[in-house]
Chain A
Amino acid sequence: MKKLLGLALGILTAIGGFVDIGDLVTNAVVGSRFGLGLVWVTLLGIVGICLFAQMSGRVAAVSGRTTFEIIRERLGPRASASNLAASFLINLMTLTAEVGGIALTLQLASSVHYLAWVPVAAVAVWLVVWRVKFKILENVAGLLGLTLIVFAVALFMLNPDWPQLAGQAAAPTVPEGEEPATYWYYAVALFGAAMTPYEVFFFSSGAVEEKWTVKDLNQSRVNVLVGFPLGGLLSIAIAGCAAVVLLPAQIGVTSLSQVVLPVAQAGGKLALAFVLVGILAATFGAALETTLSSGYTLAQYFGWSWGKFRRPVQAARFHLTMIVGLLIGVAVLMTGVDPVQVTEYSVVFSAIALPLTYIPILIIANDPEYMGERVNGRTTNLLGTVFLVVILAAAVAAVPLMIVTGAGS
């Protein structure tokens, strides 16, 4: 019974933890412009993140080595230092976007300007990272994030033309008035949002935080393989809501209030309350994950002591990194830069950084010195290699598409 509860909890947190500010904004933008015409990208991204999150978790559980230690060992100091610089900066950008997301949600709930909420949000994130146990922070954020299911409920309440939605999803076309380049730009963005590298840093470090062993692998596999796809369905529901309400009305998504507009229209104040709690939990959870990831990547590259399972004084440089990361995020937001725009850029830059993270994982997962007999099977390797090609294509296409489309405008 206890085992079953643990399993349920793991799945639920995986669902709630899947969606972050990047998924929220990108899916709503895409839904409002292309309907469900990019659902295939979300599906592709879900398969990819399942594959590589599971692989990095398995490597961490079997060998005790986390993703960034492996990147350093395999790429050598120079290549991995540039990898670290890129990953750290992009993670910082995502962290900034998530803290901005918390502040924007609080603004929607309270009518107090979001800039007043930014320091509050950052302090709250830091307090949790400083004092709360890993397991608790992971579970609470994940479970509260489940309230985002209200997006799926809202989609049904909006009573959409289902065959039309299915048609958009099954036979994707570039709508009139949109350039093909813009379509592909958002395809890359959506892919980056689903496969953000911090999820893998967090997942593999989390496996060490929770002291996973080979015995925990089955449970983690179920968590990922059931939880992430269900979380991905939430992403599709967000796009679906935008496709039903915003696309016909030609409302572009430039702020968080437009993301939640379809839910408010479908379910009124109660639904709005639910969705705000959900977004708050999702962004807060992701802010915790990205804050921790900033510490994880730097500490693992340099071989510092790290981890929430230690007291802060036993991982001093790790905690200092996270504090500095949060301060930088706050400083960037305080310049008045639009958090929604930071989010949109962060997912595209994530797409560019994807190969840097995923290639070393694939290599180590095949190294018997680390993995013993638990090296990748043939199917996993085949899928992994196919995905590597997709990931490389997305990474290479990202910058040219960004320039050609003026970042999707």
Chain B
Amino acid sequence: MTGGGKTFDAVLHILDRQVLDVDKLPVTAVDDIELSDLPEGPFPDGTPAPVITNLVAGAVLATRMFGGRPPSSRLKRIAWRHVAELGTVLRLNIHGEDLDLLWTERWVHRHIIGRIPGGSHDPQ
């Protein structure tokens, strides 16, 4: 893949990197990436190369390790257009709160950590 003339290796430079949202809040690590569809069978001449459509996180980590693939409906995605910068971390141009994949963080926040006194204060 090329971006701005610089060549990136998807496995080395994207997979397993930390993703930060627009406020530099950690969102997830890149558990997998999703590519655009290719036609079935032999490719006709001039078929465009697949491009990265989404970063994927969550249950897909287990299938990446042990094989198989989770149903597409279970994938937690971040659309590639939200990736603003590619460095030793991936920076997004949106807030993590808007992302479906942070539901566990929100659940623990709402039901456990947020209910313990002092949880929403700065440390002293």
Contact = CB atoms under 8 A, between A and B. Distances in A.
Interface string B103-119: 01110110011101011
Interface stretch (B19-27, B33-41, B42-50, B69-77): B19-27
Nearest to B31: A77
B27 A303 contact: yes
B124 A314 contact: no
Which one of A72, A81, A132, A370 has the greatest number of beta carbons of chain B within 10 Å? A72
Interface in B11-69: 15-19, 25-31, 57, 61, 64-65
Given A72-B29, A77-B64, A305 B122 contact: no
Nearest to A370: B88
B112 A316 contact: yes
B120 interface: yes
B81 interface: no
A81 B122 CA distance: 32
Contacts of B124: 131-133
B19 to A, nearest CB: 6
Contacts of A304: 26, 28, 105
Contacts of A302: 28-29
Secondary structure class of chain A's binding surface, majority of residues: helix
A303 B113 contact: no
Interface in B76-123: 88-89, 96, 104-106, 108-109, 112-114, 116, 118-123
Contact of A320 (B18, B89, B96, B108): B108
B29 A313 contact: no
Contact of B26 (A76, A132, A306, A319): A306
B17 A73 contact: yes
B96 to A, nearest CB: 8
Contacts of B88: 63-65, 369-370
Contacts of A313: 109, 113-114, 119-120
Contact of A316 (B57, B64, B65, B113): B113
A33 interface: no
Nearest to B106: A316
Interface size grouping (class) on chain A: 35 or more
Given A72-B16, A312-B113, A320-B108, A303 B123 contact: no
Which one of B16, B25, B27, B64 has the greatest number of beta carbons of chain A within 10 Å? B16
Contacts of A69: 18, 29
A320 B19 CA distance: 21
B56 to A, nearest CB: 12
Nearest to A78: B65
A183 B105 CA distance: 48
A212 interface: no
A150 B31 CA distance: 51
B83 to A, nearest CB: 14
Contacts of A316: 105-106, 108-109, 112-114
B108 A317 contact: yes
A311 B120 contact: yes
B108 A303 contact: no
A317 B105 contact: yes
Contacts of A320: 108, 112-113
A309 B57 CA distance: 25
B113 A319 contact: yes
A320 to B, nearest CB: 5
Nearest to A320: B108
B18 to A, nearest CB: 5
A245 B18 CA distance: 53
A81 B104 CA distance: 20
A345 interface: no
Which one of A64, A73, A77, A303 has the greatest number of beta carbons of chain B within 10 Å? A303
Interface of A: 63-65, 69, 72-73, 76-78, 80-81, 130-134, 299, 301-306, 308-309, 311-314, 316-317, 319-320, 369-370
29 contacts: A64-B89, A69-B18, A69-B29, A72-B16, A72-B29, A73-B17, A76-B15, A77-B61, A81-B65, A131-B121, A299-B26, A301-B29, A303-B19, A303-B29, A303-B57, A304-B105, A311-B119, A311-B121, A312-B119, A313-B113, A313-B114, A313-B119, A314-B25, A316-B108, A316-B109, A316-B113, A319-B113, A319-B119, A320-B112
Given A302-B29, A303-B19, 10 more contacts: A69-B18, A72-B29, A76-B15, A131-B123, A303-B57, A309-B123, A316-B108, A316-B109, A316-B112, A320-B113
